[in-house]
Amino acid sequence: MRLTNKTAVVTGAAGGIGQAIVKKLLAEGAQVLAADLSASALTVFNDYPKDKLITFSVDVTDYQQVEAMVQHGVTHFGQLDIMINNAGIGAPKPLLDHDPIADFEPVTRVNQQGVYYGILAAGRQFRRQESKGVILNTSSVYAQLASEMTFTYNVSKAAVDMMTKCAALELAPLGIRVCAVAPGRVDTPMLRQYEALGLWDHIRKEQMRQTFTQPSEIADIVAFLVSDEANCINGCTVSASDGFEHFKYPLLG
């Protein structure tokens, strides 16, 4: 087990990728604070013993709540070692159909400001503890690619990539590592929005092997990235997309 006696906070923990990350970290020996906006969705973790897993309702767009989340984990488990800023939202919509507020602010606040708050609260806690911690942000292949109907989402994920670099640089003197993972198409409730649009089969073919990534596969990469085995990976976003960004949609399907 690679994360024995490590304490991790995971946001967006009740979602598809978040749940898989929580389970993987537990399997690697970590203690986990699983946090999400949805208190009812967090009940999926009710059966775990409290010395291994606790839950916390948080809105990552509110810094006071993010700070309180970190402190709750520290009070319960004694320290913070790993911060995983995974909460994210997005809803496909053509740019010119946007409501300038409703289709920009909520996504930006969760995906960009939420990650910023997580970096800040965790970095401050690591400094208080005088310990080397790891911060892992969930980005997306869309951070570096243009795509239709996801304008605000892509912009917010590009910000995640830049925040990952800048935070890694500023926190390096404290021995803190910051990196990100960029999934392509992962079969979760977020992605299922494309099913309703009749695009499910189309987006499957955007991955080289034309199969959706499973949340557990992203969790495997995350567990590696936050472990000491990934000690030399810092300030970058690691692609976990089955080649999504390395080819154009195949002519021959």
Q: How far is the CB of 40 from ligand NAI (least distance, A)?
A: 10
Give the x/- contact pattern for ligand NAI in 190-229, rule: CB under 6 A. Answer: xx--------------------------------------
Distance CA 12, CA 178 (A): 18
* Torsions phi, psi for 251 (to 5 deg): -60, -40
What is the chain's alpha carbon radius of gyration, rounded to the nearest angstrom? Answer: 17
Residue 32 forms beta bridges with which residues?
A: 8, 53
Q: Please, where are the H alpha helices in 45-147?
A: 63-77, 105-108, 114-129
Measured from the CB atom, the residue of 38 and 231 that comes closer to ligand NAI is 38
The residue among 16 and 133 lying less far from ligand NAI, judged by its C-beta, is 16
Sole binder of ligand NAI in the list 33, 54, 58, 107 (CB under 6 A): 58
Q: Which of 140, 154, 164, 227 binds ligand NAI (CB under 6 A)?
A: 140
CA pair distance 215, 212, nearest whole angstrom:
9
Which neighbouring-strand residues pair with 177? Answer: 134
Quick check: is 153 catalytic? yes
Catalytic residue among 116, 142, 153, 249: 153
Judged by the rule CB under 6 A, the positions of this chain that interact with ligand NAI are 11-12, 14-18, 36-38, 41, 58-61, 86-90, 110, 138, 140, 183, 185-186, 188-191
